[in-house]
Chains A and B, each alone.
Chain A
Amino acid sequence: MKFVCDDCRRAMELVDNTPSEDGGSMAIRYTCPNCGRSISMITNPGETQMVRSLGVTIGHEALSAQPEPMAIIRDALAGGSVAATTGPEPMWTDAALRRLAAAPTFVQGMVRRLYTDYARQKGYTEITPAVMTEAREALGMTGV
């Protein structure tokens, strides 16, 4: 949607947008680049909902926005999501890798990920057999 300044016959330019506190509508402000006259458009909640559900952004933030991975899921899931941003990957010690190698081949990738996630959540920088034992007890894992 665009607006034209009737006096100047110039297309108005978007200045900013301000979401309402309940998130249901948005005030979008335009100004004439020639005379400086401003107007604001208020969207209705249905329009705001549709735009947000498309995963696009409106206004100036759209110009620089490189969307975050899984932005819709992380933003819109009621109750929040448990996705985490990446941190330093804990290092596996040789002893821990030997113990991992004793697990059946078809579960090694899965088990490695579980231990790595556990260590990352705990803030450990390396994964040792002791960390594996701790994780195994904490996660209720058996047989690996």
Chain B
Amino acid sequence: MTNHSAVHDESNVLGQVLAQRERVAARLAHIQRVVAVMSGKGGVGKSALTANLAAALAMQGRVVGVLDADIHGASAAAMLGARGQRVVIGENGARPAIGVADVRVMSMDLFLSDEDAPVTWGHPGGLAADTYVWRGTLEANVLREFLADTDWGELDTLLIDMPPGADRFETLMRLVPNLSGALVVTIPSQVSHLVVRRAIAAARHAGARLLGLVENMAGLTDGEVTHELFPNGRGEDFAAEVDVPYLGRVPFDPQLARTTDAGRPFVLEHAESAAGRAILTIAAAL
């Protein structure tokens, strides 16, 4: 008869995976609200909106962090003026960068060696052709490390800037089962609505609470007059169709593009503009 009492998994892989989850939970215990900013559609201004919402929340006295979950298109550090800082590994984890308005930032951008460096992974088997086997798992674990290993400290709100597409959202929900909710960003175009509708369905399927829908680039404002950019998409009607609270429309302001490129969230210097007021209102609703 086999002595099964001696059979034990010395590596305890399951135990290690469970310990990883526990480290995420322990870190998030110091964060009051975790909000994912998602779209499904790329190019809707989701990252710029995230940076501005973070700054708006900081203006309202909150302690805020931004986790840039867009591993291959990381931009949060640049938009919050935090590029050039180094991630320092300390006793309590990896110290996040400090952006404008003291927003704490963790992004893949902070790990890359130079301006042109793409995010590419060493092949753990020496076989580049097999990357499909492990890339998704590895990048899901990068997101886990961002959550668990960053020394966020005590935060009122952690905003997670999600990448385009809906697949990473399910990973996030597994890591953060008590996610406060997701903010959905669209632009007023039929194509955007088509893609965002699917992302909303995926988020619901993953069990996410949808906090609201923001219509970004809703017209072009020159400070006095707002010109329609997409005549066929009304965000308010779309929000009703998909049964998500409508939080408002943010007009495109050329100053927003300029300040974002300069690493200074627009809302800090243009809080009285139409776009600035809209961002502050949405932040207050969060």
Taking a contact as CB atoms under 8 Å apart, the answer to whether B86 and A86 are in contact is no
Taking a contact as CB atoms under 8 Å apart, the answer to whether B93 and A53 are in contact is no
What mask results when residues 113 to 129 of chain B are scored 1 for a CB within 8 Å of chain A, else 0?
10001011111111100
State the interface size on chain B (CB cutoff 8 A). Answer: 62
With A45-B126, A77-B121, A107-B100 in contact, do A70 and B87 touch (Cβ < 8 Å)?
yes
Does B101 touch A at the CB level, under 8 Å? yes
Q: Which residues of B contact A113 (CB under 8 A)?
A: 85, 97-98
With A49-B125, A106-B100 in contact, do A81 and B142 touch (Cβ < 8 Å)?
no
Taking a contact as CB atoms under 8 Å apart, the answer to whether B85 and A117 are in contact is yes
Taking a contact as CB atoms under 8 Å apart, the answer to whether A2 and B3 are in contact is no
Q: Which residues of A contact B89 (CB under 8 A)?
A: 68-70, 83-86
Closest CB in chain B relative to A20 CB, distance in Å: 9
Does A11 touch B at the CB level, under 8 Å? yes
Taking a contact as CB atoms under 8 Å apart, the answer to whether A58 and B13 are in contact is yes
Does A10 touch B at the CB level, under 8 Å? yes
Which residues 68-88 of A sit at the B interface, judged by CB distance below 8 A? 68-86
Q: Which residues of B contact A22 (CB under 8 A)?
A: 125-126
Which residues 81-118 of B sit at the A interface, judged by CB distance below 8 A? 81-82, 84-91, 93-95, 97-102, 108, 110-113, 117
A-B pairs with beta carbons under 8 A, tally: 189
Q: Which residue of A lies closest to B20 (CB)?
A: A55
Q: Which residue of A lies closest to B95 (CB)?
A: A86
CA separation between A77 and B85, bound complex, in Å?
18
What mask results when residues 1 to 45 of chain B are scored 1 for a CB within 8 Å of chain A, else 0?
111101111111100110010000000000000000000000000
Does A33 touch B at the CB level, under 8 Å? yes
Taking a contact as CB atoms under 8 Å apart, the answer to whether B7 and A2 are in contact is yes
Does A52 touch B at the CB level, under 8 Å? yes
> Which of these binds chain B: A59-67, A92-100, A124-132?
A59-67
Does A114 touch B at the CB level, under 8 Å? yes
Closest CB in chain B relative to A27 CB, distance in Å: 15
Please pick, from B10, B110, B138, the residue contacting A60 in the complex, using a CB distance under 8 A.
B10
Taking a contact as CB atoms under 8 Å apart, the answer to whether B113 and A83 are in contact is no
Taking a contact as CB atoms under 8 Å apart, the answer to whether B111 and A11 are in contact is no
Q: Which residues of A contact B100 (CB under 8 A)?
A: 106-107, 110
Please pick, from A14, A55, A62, A110, the residue contacting B141 in the complex, using a CB distance under 8 A.
A55
Q: Which residues of A contact B137 (CB under 8 A)?
A: 50, 53-54
With A49-B125, A73-B111, A110-B82 in contact, do A2 and B9 touch (Cβ < 8 Å)?
yes
Does A36 touch B at the CB level, under 8 Å? no
Q: Which residues of A contact B230 (CB under 8 A)?
A: none
Q: Which residues of B contact A85 (CB under 8 A)?
A: 88-89
Taking a contact as CB atoms under 8 Å apart, the answer to whether B6 and A49 are in contact is no
Nearest 10 Cβ contacts at the A-B interface: A45-B125, A53-B138, A24-B125, A53-B134, A69-B149, A11-B7, A109-B102, A81-B111, A22-B126, A49-B134
- Apart from A45-B125, A53-B141, 13 more pairs, CB < 8 Å: A22-B126, A53-B138, A57-B11, A60-B10, A69-B94, A70-B94, A73-B111, A77-B112, A81-B87, A83-B110, A85-B89, A86-B90, A106-B58
Which B positions have Cβ atoms within 8 angstroms of A? 1-4, 6-13, 16-17, 20, 58, 81-82, 84-91, 93-95, 97-102, 108, 110-113, 117, 119-127, 130, 133-135, 137-138, 141-142, 144-145, 149, 268
Which A positions have Cβ atoms within 8 angstroms of B? 2, 4, 9-11, 13-14, 22-25, 33, 45-46, 48-60, 62-63, 67-86, 106-110, 112-114, 117, 120-121, 139
14 CB-based A-B contacts, threshold 8 Å: A2-B9, A14-B11, A56-B16, A56-B17, A69-B93, A70-B87, A70-B145, A70-B149, A80-B113, A81-B87, A82-B112, A83-B87, A106-B100, A113-B97
